[in-house]
């Protein structure tokens, strides 16, 4: 099952770690960056690394501080020997040089590098960033990007969203994850924005509160009807594997592209 829900938790709030794991989110993100004030950065890092030693492998990511801050090098070095880590989220990536610097500090750690693009310069370099060794995902940091571009709402970011979707897929990476929705009480807006992101090709979405997780899962996790239809498509093709195009009873024509879409639905479905 491919993850579709991610939940941020401040790394200096270890009392929330277990709650985040129990929230139902596919992946928990320990945040060392925006959620932690400078005075707490060092202790938050140590706390996160200690807890990662007990976490289920592949279930946790860590967002480190940006490379131009005083904490980034220590963050990355501290994570260089944490086998449970799914990925390191590197914020404010603007170039392949940023990727190379992070990789050098991480050393031989096997986890992926999830690059967050948060500036116009980063958007322009999205494909090169996505194509860099060790990068396993890219995404947008929409608050900083909106400030950099001088736009005030999601409509102003539509082109950038499509840009990172295309860049990720062109580089052979999974579709990106939609940035957080900042209003934790507006679940209607969260659902509408998530549906818009899904139509653009996003794979899932990050949350900043557990109450957002079920809404995101509802939007991005295929329904039972979606799964049944995908299985019917795959089974129909399996009956005639040598046919170029197959017609279903409802009039749809099955070709290799539709088979890939059906398999993607199965991969995203709950077990």
For the segment 76-85, what is each residue's pLDDT rounded down to a tens digit? 999 988 878 9
pLDDT at residue 195, rounded to an integer = 97
Instruction: Provide block-wise average pLDDT over 10 residues at a time, the chain (271 residues).
Output: 92 96 96 97 97 89 97 95 90 98 88 96 98 96 96 91 98 96 97 96 96 97 83 76 67 73 78 58
What percent of the chain is modeled with pLDDT above 90?
73
Question: In the sheet that 5-10 helps form, which strands lie side by side, from edge to edge?
Answer: 135-140, 112-117, 85-90, 60-63, 27-31, 5-10, 204-207, 177-178
pLDDT at residue 143, rounded to an integer = 95
- pTM assigned to the model: 0.89
Indicate the SS3 state at residue 110. coil
**pLDDT tens for residues 93-137?**
999 999 999 999 998 777 899 999 999 999 999 999 999 989 999
Q: Are the CB atoms for 137 and 117 separated by under 8 Å? A: no
- In sequence order, the 6+-apart residues with CB closer than 8 A to the CB of 25 are 5, 6, 7, 207, 210, 213
Indicate the SS3 state at residue 225. helix
pLDDT at residue 264, rounded to an integer = 79
Q: What is the mean pLDDT of the chain?
A: 91
Residue 75 burial by Cβ neighbours in a 10 Å radius (0-12, 13-18, 19+): buried
pLDDT at residue 233, rounded to an integer = 78
Domain boundaries, the chain: 5-220, 224-268
Under the phi-then-psi rule, with left for phi > 0, alpha for psi from -120 to 50, and beta for the rest, what region is 61? Answer: beta
Would you give the end-to-end CA distance of the chain in angstroms? 7
Topology adopted by domain 5-220: TIM Barrel (3.20.20)
Return the number of other C-beta atoms located less than 10 Å from residue 31's C-beta.
Answer: 24
pLDDT at residue 237, rounded to an integer = 73
């Amino acid at each position: 099952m491919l993850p579709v829900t991610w939940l941020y938790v401040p790394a200096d709030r270890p009392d929330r770690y277990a709650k985040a794991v129990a929230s139902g989110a596919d992946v928990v993100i320990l945040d060392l960056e925006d959620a932690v004030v400078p005075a707490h950065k060092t202790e938050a890092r140590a706390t996160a690394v200690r807890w990662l030693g007990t976490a289920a492998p592949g279930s946790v990511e860590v967002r480190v501080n940006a490379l131009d801050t005083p904490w980034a090098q220590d963050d990355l070095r501290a994570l260089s020997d944490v086998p449970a880590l799914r990925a390191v989220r590197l914020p404010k990536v603007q170039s392949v040089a940023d990727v190379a610097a992070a990789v050098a500090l991480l050393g031989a750690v096997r986890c992926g590098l999830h690059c967050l693009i948060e500036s116009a310069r980063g958007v322009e370099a999205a494909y090169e960033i996505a194509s860099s060794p060790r990068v396993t995902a890219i995404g947008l940091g929409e608050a900083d990007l909106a400030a950099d571009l001088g736009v005030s709402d999601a409509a102003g970011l539509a082109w950038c969203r499509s840009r990172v979707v295309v860049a990720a897929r062109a580089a052979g990476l999974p579709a990106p994850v939609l940035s957080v929705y900042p209003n934790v009480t507006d679940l209607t807006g969260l659902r509408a924005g998530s549906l818009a992101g899904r139509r653009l090709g996003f794979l899932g979405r990050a949350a900043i509160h557990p109450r957002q997780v079920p809404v995101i899962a509802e939007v991005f996790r295929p329904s039972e009807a979606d799964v049944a239809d995908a299985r019917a498509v795959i089974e129909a093709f399996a009956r005639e594997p040598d046919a170029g195009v197959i017609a279903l009873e409802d009039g749809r024509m099955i070709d290799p592209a539709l088979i890939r879409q059906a398999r993607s639905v199965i991969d995203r479905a709950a077990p």
